[in-house]
């Protein structure tokens, strides 16, 4: 019995005239190698940075820039009509302005007008251009129309300049593309919302080398930040993880529970929603040695409790703010995983608690793996089970509930 051929997602990859075009070659490679059918549509000016031969070799498809190329196939209409996703990277200030105004003077801008699929713009330009009021207004209008505009990263730009305007790394852009494809035609329902997400396991140092910590990799928190970006939110990610920055999020790197507490409480003051996915250490050493502790037969370390960040968020939260906590639990003689989760929900005063079972290394959910399963416990007494799947899928389930709560307030 012969199985049917899997349908390959059709992606139009628009390329603007910026030096960051060279990084888009890596994004194209990741898309094609993972089974996407990619048609590259560069602007004519962008070919000064990366030429037609490179795009055709990497995509395995013809590359055109003008509506007068290959006219018999009517590409200026067909490409947009048939695409499952249109991604423009780098999106220059000029391209953003044209897209906002509906100008169509080449194949890419015509494709943008005919596309009825999700559209993602990945701006890259000098900081002054990104911060110009005209660019800011264009970005705001595109987002109002349901377009995903990924915030540029902060870093080295052309020449000796540094600042906001750098193209995010291709691996993270690839993850964003897949997240958008997974959502399909679902609306960007967090547009205009500001959300704060914490991630990773904190480290409480004993000395300059050793620390007390836990097995959290930060993958679930980073997935929550990424899916929030895809859904249109302004995202602040406070992370103790060593994972790469999430494309489109403001990333604040911290190490200890005290640092996490300071950052999250400050950022939460103006947030519509806060999701505490970090695995915050319950205790820290009373004293941190300034030098390496020497090896001895025994070592006694006095510990003190860390601040309860989730409980403090509950006490401080502004009217209408949605608060989500996480509970990594194991059942014991006192109660089941859900028993402990319900007790924590009652203590912390949050709207939603994501309860997931963890175990020793090799356990299929929780720490250090790419998949997860959970039960979402609501303060209203509801319980929604999310079956085993990707951490992105669990993140979307959490944001579904958060979006509904925000609408009801």
The whole-number average pLDDT for the span 16-45 is: 97
pLDDT band at 349 (very low <50, low <70, confident <90, very high): confident
Q: Encode pLDDT of 141-153 as tens digits.
A: 999 999 999 999 9
The whole-number average pLDDT for the span 149-177 is: 94
pLDDT band at 175 (very low <50, low <70, confident <90, very high): very high
Percent of the chain with pLDDT over 90: 77
Residue 358 has pLDDT above 80, yes or no: no
- Measure the CA–CA gap between 277 and 222, rounded to whole angstroms: 9
Residue 372 has pLDDT above 80, yes or no: yes
For the chain, give every domain's residue range: 10-183, 194-407
Residue 359 has pLDDT above 60, yes or no: no
Task: Determine the pLDDT at residue 365.
Answer: 63
Q: Do domains 10-183 and 194-407 have the same CATH topology?
A: yes
- Measure the CA–CA gap between 225 and 231, rounded to whole angstroms: 10
pTM: 0.90
The whole-number average pLDDT for the span 290-302 is: 84
pLDDT band at 394 (very low <50, low <70, confident <90, very high): very high
178, 214, 306, 372: which is the annotated catalytic residue?
214
Residue 3 has pLDDT above 60, yes or no: no
Averaged pLDDT score across all residues of the chain: 92
Lowest-confidence segment of 20-29, 64-73, 105-114 by average pLDDT: 64-73
Task: Determine the pLDDT at residue 362.
Answer: 58
Cβ-contact 150, 104 below 8 angstroms: no
CATH number of 194-407, picked from 3.40.50.720, 3.20.20.80, 3.40.190.10, 3.40.50.10300:
3.40.50.10300
Task: Determine the pLDDT at residue 172.
Answer: 96
Residue 360 has pLDDT above 80, yes or no: no
The whole-number average pLDDT for the span 372-383 is: 94
Residue 267 has pLDDT above 90, yes or no: yes
Residue 390 has pLDDT above 70, yes or no: yes
Q: Encode pLDDT of 222-264 as tens digits.
A: 999 999 999 999 999 999 999 999 999 999 999 999 999 999 9
Q: Which structure tokens are listed for 396? A: 């979307």
The secondary structure of the chain, three-state, reads CCCCCCCCCEEEEEECCCCCHHHHHHHHHHHHHCCCEEEEEECCHHHHCCCHHHHHHHHCCCCCCCCCCCHHHCHHHHHHHHCCEEEEEEECHHHHHHHHHCCCCCHHHHHHHHCCCCEEEEECCCHHHHHCHHHHHHHHHHHHCCCEECCCEEEECCCCCEEEEECCCHHHHHHHHHHHHHHCCCCCCCCCCEEEEEECECCEECCCCCEECCCCCCHHHHHHHHHHHHCCCEEEEEECCCCCCCCCCEEEECCCHHHHHHHHHHHHCCCCEEEECCECCCEEECCCCCCCCCCCCCCCCCEEECCCHHHHHHHHCCCCCEEEEEEEECCCCCCCHHHHHHHHHHHHCCCEEEEEECCCCCCCCCCCCCEEEEEEEECCCCEEEEEEEEHHHHHHHHHHHHHHHHHCC
The whole-number average pLDDT for the span 159-183 is: 94
What is the CATH code for 10-183? 3.40.50.1950
Active site residue 214: yes
Q: Encode pLDDT of 330-345 as tens digits.
A: 778 778 889 888 989 9
pLDDT band at 1 (very low <50, low <70, confident <90, very high): very low
Instruction: Give 356 or 220, the one with higher predicted confidence.
Output: 220
Q: Encode pLDDT of 298-333 as tens digits.
A: 888 899 999 999 999 999 999 999 999 999 887 787
Q: Encode pLDDT of 178-216 as tens digits.
A: 999 999 888 899 999 999 999 999 999 988 988 888 888
């Amino acid at each position: 019995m012969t199985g049917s051929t899997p349908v390959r997602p059709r992606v139009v990859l628009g390329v603007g005239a910026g030096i960051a075009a060279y990084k888009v070659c890596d994004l194209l490679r990741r898309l094609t190698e993972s089974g996407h059918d990619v048609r590259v549509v560069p602007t004519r000016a962008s070919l000064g940075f990366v030429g037609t031969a490179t795009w055709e070799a990497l995509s395995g498809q013809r590359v055109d820039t003008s509506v007068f190329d290959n006219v018999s196939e009517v590409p200026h209409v067909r490409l947009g009509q048939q695409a499952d996703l249109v991604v423009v990277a780098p999106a220059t200030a000029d391209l953003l302005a044209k897209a906002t105004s509906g100008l169509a003077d080449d194949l890419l801008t015509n494709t943008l007008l005919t596309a009825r699929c999700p559209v993602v713009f990945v701006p890259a330009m000098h900081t002054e251009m990104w911060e110009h009021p005209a660019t800011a207004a264009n970005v705001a209008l595109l987002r109002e129309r349901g377009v995903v505009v990924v915030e540029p990263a902060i870093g080295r730009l052309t020449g000796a300049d540094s600042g906001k305007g750098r193209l995010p790394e291709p691996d993270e852009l690839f993850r964003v593309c897949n997240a958008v494809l997974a959502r399909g035609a679902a609306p960007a329902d967090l547009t205009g919302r500001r959300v704060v997400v914490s991630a990773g396991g904190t480290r409480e140092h004993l000395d300059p080398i050793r620390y007390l910590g836990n097995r959290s990799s930060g993958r679930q928190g980073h997935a929550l930040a990424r899916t929030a970006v895809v859904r249109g939110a302004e995202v602040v990610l406070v992370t103790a993880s060593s994972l790469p920055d999430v494309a489109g999020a403001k990333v604040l790197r911290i190490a200890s529970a005290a640092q996490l507490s300071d950052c999250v409480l400050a950022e939460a003051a103006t947030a519509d929603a806060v999701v505490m996915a970090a695995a915050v250490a319950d205790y820290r050493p009373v004293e941190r040695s300034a030098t390496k502790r020497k090896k001895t037969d025994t070592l006694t370390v006095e510990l003190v409790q860390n601040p309860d960040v989730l409980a403090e968020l509950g006490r401080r939260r502004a009217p209408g703010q949605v608060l989500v906590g996480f509970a990594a639990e194991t059942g014991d003689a006192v109660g089941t995983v859900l028993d402990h989760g319900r007790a924590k929900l009652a203590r912390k005063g949050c709207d939603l608690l994501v309860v997931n079972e963890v175990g020793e290394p090799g356990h299929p959910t929780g720490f250090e793996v790419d998949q997860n399963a959970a039960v979402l416990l609501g303060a209203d007494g509801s319980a929604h089970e999310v079956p085993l799947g990707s951490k992105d899928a669990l993140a979307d389930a959490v944001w579904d509930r958060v979006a509904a709560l925000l609408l009801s307030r």
